[in-house]
A and B are shown apart, each in its own frame.
Chain A
Amino acid sequence: MRKKSLEELIDWMKKETTLHDKIEYWHTLEEKEAKTVSFPSSLDKRIGRALENRNITSLYTHQHTAFEKSGVEQKHTVSVTPTASGKTLSYNLPVLQSILNDKESRALYLFPTKALAQDQKSEINEFIDEMEVDIKSYTYDGDTAPNIRQVIRKAGHVVITNPDMLHSAILPHHTKWVSLFENLKYIIIDELHTYRGVFGSHVANVVRRLKRIANFYGSSPVFICTSATIANPKELAETLTGESFYLIDNNGAPRGKKHFVFYNPPIVNEAMNIRKGATSEVNKLASLFLKEKIQTIVFARSRVRVEVILSHLQELVKKDLGPKSIQGYRGGYLPKQRRAIEKGLRNGDIMGVVSTNALELGVDIGQLQVCIMTGYPGSVASAWQQAGRAGRRQDESLILLVASSAPVDQYMIQQPEFFLDQTPESARIHPDNLIILVDHIKCAAFELPFQEGETFNGVEIEEVLEYLTEEQVLHHRGHKWYWMNDGFPAHGVSLRSASQENVVIIDQTDVANVKVIGEMDRFSAMTLLHDKAIYLHQGVQYQVEELDWEEKKAYVKEVQVEYFTDANLAVELKVLEEDKRTEYPSFETAFGDVMVNAKATIFKKIKMTTFENIGSGSIHLPEEELHTNACWISFPDQTVSKFGKEPLEQALIGIANVLRHVAPIHVMCDQSDLHVVPQMKATHSEKPTIFLYDRYPGGVGLSSAVYNNFLELLQNGKKLIRSCPCTTGCPSCVGSDLNLGEEAKWLTLRLMRLLEEEHQFEAEK
């Protein structure tokens, strides 16, 4: 039987009547012609020749601008480009030109992951070979062999690395990198949009240290950043580096025809507005394409979901393709495993991949034809990134957004214009988070003593230095502060997560061959790797036999069970200090410091097929303490008596549930980065209160952004509830808490209206 092509399947989908009520919206993006400009006259002939060898005879408009601004005018630039638009030339051209002009020139490339750095090295080296010149470019990461490290330090024109390596291996040993720092002309920051939240705040401080060391050796390099589409690329680049930037957004790359299909699983329970699970619909849709040998990528939001979908798909297409042709891809797999999967996708051995957002990044996996998202990925920017994985090279492609019953999904799917017209979110970082700042000032002092009057890229830090002197970390002598401690500060600071130590996952199924299969951050481990938890890895189920919290090791053993586990986290909140407050007649909002105590309490065993609860157990782990920022809204007594205590409680849970979904969209973060907790009697005021707090110690600006945009948030929340077709409230809007009654939806709306009117009234005054 002949395999159907993607075009045929698209036609079939359009005509098939059983699909009509499931497809809520079909959006077609027409193809776009390329906009090009001929080579700039100043472009080195050797570069021009190498481009011509690749059949490139002109530059896209954005590449041309990048060459003029970063190369000729020496301005800091940030380019915003979609996937597969040839962004690498935006930085490779000015960098190579500078090295051809002066062979002492050096450039430093930063990629968020090792994998991207590897891709980039092959790409730039191929280009250099075609130019037939002696330019050396190397990756420098944890895998680099010790014997070539010295060569790289002395003679590498282009050093390709990641922020973690810069932070813990290059900057603290800068004296070994004299020739790099003395001649540093360019710093490339690719995938700029990934530097947000905690990670971005850390990296901003690493960049401060980098600039400080470069200045010490007499260089002031030009930054070239590239970013996926976000609302504030210029602002982000400027906050991250402390320089002013020229924005390049005249994308000239062509684009193939794209079909964006909004797919809503059918309702199975009208009254409760319960829809069929997105996962099972995704399984069906994905196998439809995979059976026709159309390369498909499936995105899922969590690691667990990836593994569940993976095992289903492997089962479904086993006969047609063999299970190996479908692979999972997510954090927690070992690097070697991931490289093999990437290669398999490029050469077509692997037909399908199920991934978390790990594959949103520019990892080169070649051309895929179909992208299926299991639920809305949480942000507009992220959705476009994932969509970009299909049809990277000008062909027709299909993107399917399969909604889950989560409120945001239902909101998006019923108002696709919200998604299609909305400007993507802003990426926020908060480099001056005190905990992060102090960590990096320590590292900076280790690298080079601070002078009196010196700032940390504009930040006044004298008090921090004095504090560290009292703590006997620094020594103030003459006009300088010197590192005077026997530690190595960078080793105690991890850029990637709040906790410094990850939990290592050890498989002891085969006693003779015990092996490490992955790792996980501490906070996640509390709920995913507790004793007796079922942990999924590459579609295989493991049961945690023991979580050794002291040693940060989880010992697992392979099992085959019909359930998965879901753990509860109990949270206690104390307000330490209130920084800002706005009062309204019947409520008030505030922002300040809080202390959160979290403890994993119990876990439930949930049957895979029916999602019913088939057992539970308790978890014995120590409490984790978190000191962070929060924003909260609370209601004084008269509101309680006016609104009624019972109804207010219902509305409170309702609003909290809606905010839980809407707030992360607005401040561009993962749902797990911003926690929402409703309390009828808050510890600090005894008033009904909803807290929204940053999951990272010290806060990274999420709850502060919520505080500043509260009205907008409420409006979107209200829209979300209104657009939900249920009658009395459902999991897709105000939630399905057992305490909620028949009137929950109506009560929530009533309270929200009240808040919104007063908020607006206040704003007009």
Chain B
Amino acid sequence: MKLKNKLHRMKHHLGDNKSVQSEMEEKEIVSADHHHNKDIPFAKEWEDLNAASRFLEDQYMIKREVVYPFDHLHGKYKLQELFNVWEEWKNETAFHPLHPNERSPEDLLFFDTETTGLNSGTGNMIFLLGGAQFTEEHVQVNQFFLPGPEAEVALYHHFLKDTASTQNLVTYNGKAFDWPQLKTRHTFVRNEVPKLPSYGHFDLLHAARRLFKHRLSSCKLSVVEKEILQFERIDDTPGYLAPMLYFDFLNEKHPEYIKGVLTHNEWDVLSLITLYIDLSKRVLSKRSCGRETYEIGRWYAHCKEWNKARWCFEKALNTTIERRKWQEECMFALGFVYKKLNQEKEAVECFLQILENNSANSATAAIEIAKFYEHREKNPEKALHFVHKAVKMNGNVTPELNKRMKRLQNKEEIRK
């Protein structure tokens, strides 16, 4: 048996003259469990895909391993640029959701799944778990494939055993989809496989939405790849075909049916690496400008990193001359950031400009100015002047405005 298996592996080296892809180093294939060297259907074809069976008792799953050198170019970035951004993050003291903090690059698992349906729900199976991870020598892509619905115990057993950490997942919409679905499937086999570890998450979909929503038609990964990462997929199998192809595979058992999906998933996890690089660079570098800087500033403001936000907003305004709606929003947001930083005078200047523009935010700006004159300058008369402006902008007197007006009138009376 052992020999037969060996021969199977050898056959590849003996007869096949297929040239090895230039950038891809072939690594020795993981051997099947010695206790169960069962012959699996199309073992040779799997081998050609760098994949082999892994047994658990009489069930098997298929593990595929591909290795990329650090200087592999995926779109406009080399994978090793992750190390550069890592260094840059180290110099960044402000809090940011993408900040790796104490982690090292090897801790991250760039992760994506392929499923039998797009809905959530118990009947939707994960048939492929793909992850890319940095090692000391290279980038390793591991794919855990479910050869049939009966093999989930083997699939999750080997996935959990071989995956050191799920503490630092990097995904695209994994918070809402991949991870909950993994939890669902794990529940079915939870008595037979290791416990599901706790997990931490960088969900790059949220990050991409913040930075690119204003200029991309959609934030689908394929669009981001094309427009931002400059990675062009050639002969890609679109994700929506994955369930159908998997059903065909189940009937025919030939890996040819699923090959395209494996490649698709492999590209997905590689793109996650370069997307993390790209997003980090944008957030960290001082080179962005205009609208994008404004969006980065909003992100910092959301994290209550006021100094960072101020820097971004100021720069965003300085680097453009056009007059667009976002600039008005940026000015408005900057006003509030100044207020947080107790730069009251600068804040009022922002709000005064908004007021002049006569826009949707003008009424709120007027109230902010009124607050300043009432509480800081102790000038109820001037404050009241701005409250009246707010009323005019608003078109009516809200109960809140009314209250403020009454109070200011009283203060004014007392002064007189």
Contacts and interface: CB of A to CB of B under 8 A. Distances in A.
Contacts of B123: 172, 445-447, 483, 488-489
Interface string A154-187: 0000000000000000001111101000000000
A644 interface: no
A475 B146 CA distance: 14
A485 interface: yes
A458 interface: no
B187 interface: yes
Contact of B247 (A178, A472, A478, A480): A472
Nearest to B117: A486
Interface string A479-503: 0101111111100000000000000
A707 B218 CA distance: 61
A487 B117 contact: yes
Given A446-B123, A475-B149, A487-B117, A175 B243 contact: no
Interface in B107-147: 116-125
Contacts of A172: 121-123
A482 B149 CA distance: 7
Contacts of B247: 472, 475, 484-485
Nearest to B190: A178
A449 B122 contact: no
Contact of A174 (B118, B122, B148, B243): B122
A445 B124 CA distance: 11
Given A173-B121, A174-B122, A482-B149, A477 B250 contact: yes
B117 A176 contact: no
A192 interface: no
Contacts of B117: 485-488
Contacts of A173: 120-122, 184
Contact of A484 (B116, B119, B120): B116
B183 interface: yes
A449 B148 CA distance: 13
Contact of B150 (A175, A447, A478, A487): A478
B242 to A, nearest CB: 9
Contacts of B116: 484-486
A736 B295 CA distance: 76
Interface string A591-623: 000000000000000000000000000000000
B95 interface: no
B188 interface: yes
A475 B123 CA distance: 12
A478 B118 CA distance: 26
Contact of A488 (B121, B149, B187, B244): B121
A475 B121 contact: no
Contacts of A445: 123
Contact of A475 (B124, B244, B250): B250
Nearest to B181: A175
A447 B124 CA distance: 9
Given A175-B184, A484-B116, A486-B243, A477 B122 contact: no
Interface residues of B, number: 22
Given A484-B247, A484-B250, A175 B149 contact: no
A176 B150 contact: no
Nearest to A489: B123
A488 B243 CA distance: 13
Interface string B184-214: 1101100000000000000000000000000
Contact of B119 (A175, A477, A488): A488
Contacts of A484: 116, 149, 247, 250
A172 B120 CA distance: 9
Nearest to B242: A486
A475 B150 CA distance: 10
Nearest to A472: B247
A353 interface: no
Interface string A433-472: 0000000000001111100000000000000000000001
Contacts of A178: 187
Interface in B219-263: 243-244, 247, 250
A330 B116 CA distance: 42
A399 B89 CA distance: 80
Nearest to B186: A175
Contact of B188 (A175, A446, A487): A175
A446 B187 contact: no
Interface string B21-61: 00000000000000000000000000000000000000000
Contacts of A475: 149, 247, 250
Given A176-B184, A472-B247, A484-B250, A447 B122 contact: yes
A478 B116 CA distance: 19
Nearest to A176: B184
A489 B122 CA distance: 11
Contacts of B188: 175
A448 B122 CA distance: 8
B149 A446 contact: no
Contacts of A447: 122-123
Interface in A92-150: none
A178 B187 CA distance: 8
Contacts of A489: 123
A281 to B, nearest CB: 52
Nearest to B115: A486
A175 B120 contact: no
Interface centre among A174, A178, A472 (most CB of B within 10 A): A174
A445 to B, nearest CB: 7
Interface string B167-193: 000000000000000011101100000
Contacts of A480: 149-150
A448 B185 CA distance: 11
Nearest to A444: B123
B187 A477 contact: no
A137 to B, nearest CB: 25
Contacts of B184: 173, 175-176
A176 to B, nearest CB: 7
Interface centre among B119, B148, B149, B187 (most CB of A within 10 A): B149
Interface in A626-657: none
A445 B121 CA distance: 12
B50 to A, nearest CB: 25
Contacts of B244: 486
A267 B326 CA distance: 78
A473 B244 CA distance: 12
A595 B42 CA distance: 50
B243 A446 contact: no
Contacts of A175: 122, 183-185, 187-188
A124 to B, nearest CB: 29
Nearest to B59: A478
A645 B116 CA distance: 64
A486 B185 CA distance: 16
Nearest to A482: B149
A82 B117 CA distance: 48
B220 to A, nearest CB: 18
A486 B119 CA distance: 8
A472 B247 CA distance: 9
Contacts of A446: 121-123
Contacts of A176: 184
Contact of B149 (A174, A472, A477, A486): A477
B180 to A, nearest CB: 8
Given A475-B149, A483-B125, 12 more contacts: A175-B183, A445-B123, A446-B121, A446-B122, A446-B123, A448-B122, A477-B149, A478-B150, A484-B247, A486-B117, A486-B244, A488-B123
The 5 residue pairs across chains A and B that have the minimum distance between CB atoms: A446-B123, A175-B187, A486-B117, A482-B149, A483-B123
17 contacts: A172-B122, A172-B123, A174-B122, A175-B184, A176-B184, A445-B123, A446-B122, A483-B123, A483-B125, A485-B116, A485-B243, A486-B116, A486-B117, A486-B119, A487-B117, A488-B121, A489-B123
Interface of A: 172-176, 178, 445-449, 472, 475, 477-478, 480, 482-489
Interface of B: 116-125, 148-150, 183-185, 187-188, 243-244, 247, 250
